Structure 1
Amino acid sequence: MANRLDAIVFGATGYTGKHVAAEVIRHAQKRPGFTWGVAGRSEDKLKKVIQDLEKKTEQDLSNVKVIVADIVDEKSLVEMAKQAKLIINAVGPYRFYGEPIVKACIEAGAHQVDISGEPQYMERMQLEYGEKAKEKGVYIVSACGFDSIPAEMGTVFVEDKFDGTVNSVETYLESWTDAPLTGPALNFGTWESAVYGLAHADELKSLRKQLYPVRTPKFEPRLEKRSVVHKSDVIEGKWCVPFPGSDRSVVMRSQRYFYDNDKKRPVQMEAYLVVGSLFSVVILGICAGIFALLAKFKPGRSLLLKYPGLFSLGYFSKDGPKEEELPLTNFAITLYAKGWSADKKLAEPTDQHTEPPNKTLVAKVQGKDPGYGATSMMLVTAGLTILDEKDKLPETGGVLPPGAVFAKTSLIQKLNENGVTFEVLNIKTEDNKEA
């Protein structure tokens, strides 16, 4: 890979891709000799993106390579991948456009990171290309954005700080704005992924049987799901509902990896969304019911995709958010972990505990602009960590979730330094004293 570019942003002309390219520029300033390029279907549009970024960042980008590659032209994708150590893929929905890039990267020997939050896509890629990627020595890592770095690396962080054995983690996602938004919060691509993800959710059961033909043993005590609508003392008695995103599926894939490869007791996990008021719960429930019903049928999906603003109450739009309003949005994920203190450690990590958990830990991961600013930073930082810390990565490669890949790296430290912070709020032992 000596003569290759360090990284190529594929899909740099898209809404998310432009933010990713801007983030690469920020990192490149701190990395002497760093080389990179942008790729997509239109050379003119790519050059326009570079020109706009030059004005915005006041940087000389004349050395940034422009590469024409089309998702429907397999040869062009392979030629693109041959020119890079790392492909940062910003072209979604990945259900439709992700696989050709994965194939090209494996053939060309390039690593790939993306921001997919689509469990069916991610698990199918692991099933069909995991061994091929391992043989080629490349890492294909999805879910490297807001879906699902905070939950994934938050769970890794919790285990690292727990000083004992973690039995379960519950996550509570909150989002708020510093001022009322005058436009949508997210662009159409995320909405489209959600529509098709729900439409094909039934695929997951069959996929998982193939991916994991032998089930993980059940460890006690089992983490029971909370009621569909509930208040949680972890986040000051606010109303919560199950979180429909990919966080749980991604975290559980990493936990299965740790069990299979390290013989480590897997952490049980459930994810929840903090809604705030009971009125908001009712409105969310109505919207979710309509969304779920329409997504199951082709005519319904057509309506959802034609009128995203209507069916999301203005939260999504084909026009995308206003750039000046992106920094107004904040997010926080509170993680509540239960388990056993270090003095209760068993002889073998796969043994069963015979007494109830005696320790809890509460941690928080938070930042700003989850959809684009934080997501782009997490994506680029994750990709560069693959290049920088190969000796800390597992095995020789593979199609793996972020937690499995980055658990032993300095990714959490890098995220802390770049605006997504990880902190322990409290640790308590059985006698209710702070540890």
Structure 2
Amino acid sequence: MAAVTSARPYHVVVFGASGFTGQFVVEEVARCASEGPGGVPLKWAVAGRSRQRLEDVLKQAARRLSMPDLSTDVEIIVADVSIEESLAIMCQQGVVILNCVGPYRFYGEPVVKACVENGAHYVDICGEPQFLERMQLEYHTKALDKGVYVIGSCGFDSIPADLGILYTQRQFKGTLTAVESFLNIRSGPRGSTGHDATWQSAVYGFADSGSLRQLRKKFGHQPLPVIGAKVRRRGFVFFSKEIEQYAIPFMGSDPSVVKRTQRFLHEEEQQSPVQYTAYVGVGGLFSVVKLLCGGLLFWVMVKFSLGRKLLTTFPSFFSFGLFSKAGPTMKQIEDTCFSLAFYGEGYSVGTDPSQGRPDAKICTQVVGAEPGYVATVSAMVQAAVTILNELHSLPRRGGVYTPGAAFYKTSLIERLHNHGIKFSVRKYQ
């Protein structure tokens, strides 16, 4: 594989570079240009449908970073998800393709297919379990045969959760058997706003939740063994003493991704699987009432094509301002940060997990800047840098993996820690 990739002109190609998230990824790649394999500068390119828009993105990134005009040094590749030949040409030129074109359920598979067929590693920031698990089902063997790594959810969904569990396991002295995570997002007076593409992913994901159950049956997995005491699930809405606000189950891809990682580590490394439940803080009572009313309306509307059309046409109205077609302002991004706390329990060294209740606890956390467009792009770029620098540490010789499964033997946690996503042990409260 090294002989093939070393002949390629670019270490990294950012596909969808002119999209809302892609613009931030371009800036992050430019910041990390010194982190190429073997200490050489990264050779990189941007790709998308419009050469003019890509040139504008490069110029904008140079201005924001106070750098020389990037459009004179960074190659532009014109590629479109609807034109297979253009994707093949793009994938033949890059070692790692960073795919920023979503929603992935509509636009992701052609890029995965082109990467596998043309020998390029693939990284995305997808938070859509249906897409992630279907790619594993349909492309794992093909990617393995080609020596290609396809690694999804390398953004805020789900790097902090997946690697946070691995970090917690490593810090725990004994056998960690269960973890609850609590996500808390803090924003300034203007609040925090997500981009329309994320909202669309949620709308169509919830509308198609039935297909996910059918998809999982095709894997034929046996249930993971429950080690130690079985965790009792909390209610749909409850007051969390851990984050001192009301919380609900986290509806994103984190539980799905973590479970896939735990299955991989159990089957491949004979590690004891961890039971995992994820929650997110929603604030005070008024926020709970607003959430319940909005959530009920959302669940009804996603069931019908007209409802989905209205939801995606007017994201700001139906999400109470949480998502918009314009996305967050730079001020909103600067004023927002996240913390993800992990409360784990298990059995101390020498204690038999089959006997009695857990006798040891641990609390860890992952903290970082704004999750959607700062932490996400940092995680995505560091995932690519890790592939370039530590390919020998990834499992087998290729395949479709979660971040935890792909990077559990690499230094990605340390790389993230050095790029603003901090992992630490906290005192258990």
TM-score between both structures, scaled by the size of structure 1: 0.93
Tell me whether 1:301 sits opposite 2:305 in the alignment.
no
Which of these residues, 182, 189, 196, is aligned with residue 180 of structure 1? 189
Taking the aligned partners of 2:343 and 2:132, their CA distance within structure 1 comes to 26
Instruction: Give unmatched runs, 5+ long, in structure 1.
Output: 347-351, 429-435
Correspondence for 2:43? 35
Query: Which residue number corresponds to residue 349 of structure 1?
Result: none
Q: What letter is aligned with 2:159?
A: I
Matches within 5 A, 1:300-379: 300-344=307-351, 353-379=354-380
What amino acid is the match of 1:219? Answer: I
1:433 matched to which residue of 2?
A: none
Q: d(CA) in 2 for partners of 1:3 and 1:135? A: 20
1:129 matches 2:139: yes
- The one-letter code sitting in structure 1 at the alignment partner of 2:291 is L
Whether the 8 Å contact between 2:226 and 2:273 is mirrored in structure 1 is: no
2:197 to 189, 201, 214: 189
Q: Kindly state the Cα deviation for residue 18 of structure 1 after the two structures are TM-superposed.
A: 0.4
1:412 paired to 2:416: no
* 4+ runs deviating over 6 angstroms: none
- Alignment of 1:44 with 2:52, yes or no, is yes
Please give the secondary structure, in 2, of the residue aligned with 1:28.
coil
Amino acid at match of 1:250: V
Q: Which secondary structure state, in structure 1, belongs to the residue aligned with residue 7 of structure 2? A: coil
The Cα shift of 1:398 comes to 0.8
Corresponding residue of 1:171: 181
Distance 1:71 1:10 in 2: 10
| Contact 2:35/2:41 (<8 A) preserved | no
Q: For the residues of structure 2 that align with 1:249 and 1:343, how far apart are their CA atoms?
A: 31
- For residues 362-384 of structure 1, what are the alpha-carbon distances to aligned partners after superposition, in whole Å with 9 as ceiling and x for unaligned? 11111111110111001000111
Q: Distance in 1 between matches of 2:268 and 2:183?
A: 30
Asked if the contact 1:138–1:396 (Cα under 8 Å) also holds between the matched residues in 2, the reply is: yes
How high is the TM-score relative to the length of structure 2?
A: 0.95
| SS of match in other structure, 1:67 | strand
Gaps of 5+ in 2: none
Aligned ranges 1:204-223 → 2 under 5 Å? 204-223=212-231
Q: After the TM superposition, which of the residue ranges 214-223 and 384-393 deviates more from structure 2?
A: 214-223
1:36-435 pair list within 5 angstroms: 36-60=44-68, 61=70, 62-177=72-187, 179-181=188-190, 185-235=193-243, 237-344=244-351, 353-426=354-427
Match of 1:10 in 2: 15
Is 1:359–1:427's contact at 8 Å kept on the other side of the alignment? no
Report if aligned partners of 2:123, 2:151 keep a CA contact under 8 Å in 1.
yes
The AA in structure 2 aligned to 1:101 is V
* Matched AA of 1:113: V
Answer yes or no: is the 8 Å Cα contact 1:92–1:98 preserved in 2: yes
State the Cα distance separating 1:231 from its structure 2 match: 2.3
1:213 Cα deviation after fit: 3.5
CA distance in 1, matches of 2:227, 2:66: 55
Could you list the per-position Cα deviations for residues 369-411 of structure 1 after superposition, in whole angstroms to 9, with x for gaps in the alignment?
1110111001000111111111221111111111111112111
Question: In the TM superposition, what is the alpha-carbon distance from 1:338 to its structure 2 partner?
Answer: 0.6
Tell me the distance in 1 between the aligned counterparts of 2:426 and 2:155. Answer: 24
Residue 32 of structure 2: SS of its match in structure 1?
helix
Q: Which amino acid aligns with 1:221?
A: A
